[in-house]
Structure 1
Amino acid sequence: MGCTSCATGADGQPKGCKNNGTCGSDGCNKLTVFDWLSNMSLPGDMKPFDGVEVRFKNGRKDFFKVPEELSLSISDTVATEASPGHDIGIVTLTGELVRVQMKKKKVTPDTNTLPKIYRKATQKDIDIWQKARDREADVQKRSREIAIRLGLKMKISDIEFQGDASKAIFYYTAEERVDFRELIKEFARTFNTRIEMKQVGFRQEAARLGGIGSCGRELCCSTWLTDFRSVSTSAARYQQLSLNPQKLAGQCGKLKCCLNYELDTYLEALKDFPKTDVKLQTEKGVAVCQKIDIFKGLLWYSYVKEGMNWHQLKAEKVNEIIALNKKGKKVASIEEYIEDVVTPSEKELFSNVVGQDSLTRFDQPKRSKGKRRNKKRKNSNNTRNRNRNQKKNA
């Protein structure tokens, strides 16, 4: 997603609006909701919904009541009610979709209980808000130095000033409980403002900071992912992945969220597979499972006394053997159920679909110098013979 200001710069490089999600068209934010009812008019006996959705820094959103005398549209900068003072935000959604979003977020769609919007932000409000935002980088650096000096095991990841610069919210991450009473006193004396501390998870921190994942793409949590579900190591086991924490962990230090993307497909495919802890009873001996291949539907079994000799079986054949074992019958050996699996050749795997054999098929072939000389001699001889015949006829 990109706003109208995110044009292309020199040499095809993205210019970017550099507003970090607070651009006027609201196209640089992952929490943007498309208003598909914008071109539709309400029935004559129905009043427009008097609530709007307003977004602040870091993707923080809230719902507010609009006064009757105020008309708002998407991307308007407004001054909203806050405690204390007021805050500055950008309207991201209006109309009936706000009611739908409130139900989705489990908020009572009663605008009388919502905080109010005071007015559209004036130029003075925007100037104060911009000056406060310009201070955030310096305040973050100094606050980290104070936390290190006090010996607190915490990381201050971001700072957010309120629109009127009367309060600053410090977002931090910590693995243990932190006693920051002395830290708040130090912050209040140093920055001369009201202090609020908010602890966020490591996934939320990575979502705000952003970055590039091991896949080469921008992090999912910083582009489109909004709900962070728990990821367990069983998701990696079901997908036959090696339990290497360096490969399975994301930039937040937790297991990657993408481990859950294909988990349901793997679980559905594993329904046709027998359990790996079930042993096959044969007259030759007991066979145990060594390896499975979900994509090809194959399992590898070996006898207990011959652990190095693996035998490849299809999932259907293994289920047949297990069904016979449950009836109290033993098969002669697992070798009887082995089927030859035809492996496709390289030409079949990488077939020429378009019928293009060579990239240089349109180039004219180079002729050797000998052929050129012979052609020139033939042409010269033909012209000589033609001239002689003309002279004789004359």
Structure 2
Amino acid sequence: MSPPSGPLAGVRVVELAGLAPGPFGGMLLADLGADVVRVDRAGPPAPDSLAPPSGGPLQRSRRVTALDLKSPPGVADLLRLADHADVLIEGYRPGVAERLGFGPDVCLRRNPRLVYARMTGWGQQGPLAHRAGHDIDYIAVAGALDPLGRAGQAPHAPLNLLGDFAGGGMLLALGVLAALLERERSGAGQVVDAAMVDGSALLTAFLHGMIGAGRWNGPRGTNLLDGGAPFYDTYAAADGGFLAVGALEPAFYANLLAGLGLDGDPGLPDQYDRGGWPVLRQRFTEAFARRTRDEWTAIFDGRDACVAPVLSPAEAPRHPHNRARGTFVEVGADTQPAPAPRFGRTPAAPPRPAPDPERDRVSVAEVLREWAP
């Protein structure tokens, strides 16, 4: 394996294999150049495992080893890796790592500079800390699920993007980077408690500001940014495709009306006349239904109306803007999102395919020959 490059080159990470948020945090660190060694569970996966198949983006740019962490030799090997690592990522329920013999007290006593990053749903403390849960549960308790959905309908979870990834793995990576930066001043590592309920709540900061300012006071699906406003919504085109409309500002709204052929129509209510929103929505729905998605895309091309085609994950890599920026890259035989953000002086290397858990497995001794020569 060629040496990693990027702003985190030289940072050594031990990642205990887990579900989506932990691997996503590890992927972010690996994308930026960290040397990440994933520790899989020795033996076959549990029959009820929800772990994604090996080889996907969340496992890219790693090395992989396997240890039996329920055995003293396996724990001893893990501690040897942690002795020479900068970061350890674990996603067990609170108390499990301590019970198995590699909790933060043990690891930090042996390696005081270690950043011990803990990824959980409910956090290390609190009444729910030991309860099971998934993304949908964490965003529910965080207040991030209730606003999502159409008026008069049940809340609708946006895949597992908010809890697992934005409020989970991304928060974990941010915490690790902050702890590494602080370590440069203090010389000491610390525990990072990254909880998806905390991260999901953090994502609602703008919403809480809107509520405090009295600008978000209606039920789900009736407010400015939740589909309540007809000029911030999606519309079906003639071919079944969809257009996303975000024409909030008056200048963009005027361009939206012009593109739809509705400018100058005396029957249109004012943009922010909430009583007229049903009329606006009906007129927009009828107008968008007259052409295909790609025809509307061409009409609004070069026009600042905040109108964009709704692309599927398979279509997104082919969009001209994404192609020009390299927003997606080829990793082996697969198309995957590219590392982000971008760095002018220390750019990240292209991602490497995920290792095969059996064929590409390395031993702890091999890793330590590099980390502790």
User: Aligning the two structures, in what range does the TM-score lie when normalised by the shorter sequence?
Assistant: under 0.3
Higher relative contact order (CA 8 A, sep 6+): 2
User: What TM-score comes out, normalization by structure 1 length?
Assistant: 0.24
